Homo-oligomer: A and B are copies of this chain.
Amino acid sequence: MLDDVDLKILKIIQNDAKYPLEKISQEVKLPKSTVAYRIKKMEKEGVIKGYYTHIDPSALNLDYLVVTMIKAKYGQNYHETLGKKLAQLPGVWGVYFILGDIDFIVIARFKNREEFLNNFLEKLINMPEIERTSTSVIAKTIKETPFQIL
């Protein structure tokens, strides 16, 4: 479905969404219009899902990061509803459903401990689908490049 040229294009734009068509065309040695055609096609097919601006969280004082492990209560569709609820909590950017002793890993960002407690942990406690939770504070983000996949 994707050939080498597509991959080369993706590799170029994944870290620089505004990289000019002209330069891409030089690097892949195809005319601008062809590169444009291929990019549009990948957008339509869902290979390219969007173009994001990477904003430094620290600039907004979002320096209180946490990872929370969640075990859901055993029951019918607890996982389904709980996953959705977790994804909607303010500050939460990552919700992963995993196989094992824990059911969910949630990664979230807050301004400070108070916001974490009031906007997040307080709400977790009131969710009936949750059996237990365990939160760790992230002391340092060493790497965070989810969209760098090539």
Assign chain A's interface to a size class: 35 or more
How many copies the complex holds: the figure is: 2
Report the separation of the CA atoms of residues A53 and B54 in the bound assembly, to the nearest whole angstrom.
Answer: 10
Report the separation of the CA atoms of residues A147 and B83 in the bound assembly, to the nearest whole angstrom.
Answer: 20
**B59→A2 contact, CB < 8 A:** yes
A18 CB contact (under 8 Å) in B10, B17, B65, B146: B17
**B143→A97 contact, CB < 8 A:** no
Question: Which residues of the partner chain B approach A141 to less than 8 Å between Cβ atoms?
Answer: 95-97
Interface residues of A (CB under 8 A from B): 1-2, 10, 13-18, 45-57, 59-60, 62, 65, 67, 83-84, 86-87, 92-100, 102, 104-105, 107, 109, 136-150
